[in-house]
């Protein structure tokens, strides 16, 4: 794997179809993954939790995040941090929401299927 990338050269997909409508390219490296994702207007990431640390940066649009018991509407230039294991959700508001998503890689955890990889084999 090289050191330089273009979003347009990376495969675009749903990040976690089980609970999220976020679609776009994602780069996974040794200890982190970074994606450029779009949520269509009025769609969501249903409440969920995972063992990864996560940071989202809003590039375009507005979204309503719920992290634990806190709720806030964010727009371009704002960031949100989710600690591992804390339930969180996101509602894209009345326009397309575009974000940069950064997650820590947790060995054995499948972001795509939202479960431990060993459980996929059962």
Answer whether residue 121 shows pLDDT above 80.
no
| Residue 24 CB neighbours (<10 A) | 20
Section 48-73 average pLDDT: 98
Nearest to 12 by CA among 30, 32, 27, 33: 27
Topology (CATH level 3) of domain 7-120: Jelly Rolls (2.60.120)
Q: Bridge-partner residues for 55, per DSSP?
A: 81, 102
Predicted pLDDT at 122: 61
Q: Taking residues 19-36, what's their average pLDDT?
A: 96
Between 120 and 69, the more confident residue is 69
In terms of Cα–Cα distance, which of 58, 101, 97 is closest to 76? 58
- Mean pLDDT, rounded, for 77-100: 97
Q: Give the residue-averaged pLDDT of 44-64.
A: 97
């Amino acid at each position: 794997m090289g050191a330089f990338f273009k979003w347009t050269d990376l495969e675009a997909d749903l990040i976690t179809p089980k609970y999220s409508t976020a679609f776009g390219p994602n780069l996974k490296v040794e200890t982190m993954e970074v994606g450029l994702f779009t949520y269509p207007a009025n769609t969501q990431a249903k409440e969920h939790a995972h063992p990864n640390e996560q940071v989202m940066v809003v590039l375009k649009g507005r979204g309503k995040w719920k992290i634990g018991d806190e709720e806030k509407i964010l727009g371009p230039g704002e960031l949100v941090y989710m600690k591992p294991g804390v339930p969180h959700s996101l509602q894209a508001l009345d326009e397309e929401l575009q974000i940069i998503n950064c997650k820590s890689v947790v060995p054995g955890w499948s972001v795509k299927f939202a479960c431990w990889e060993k459980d996929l084999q059962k």
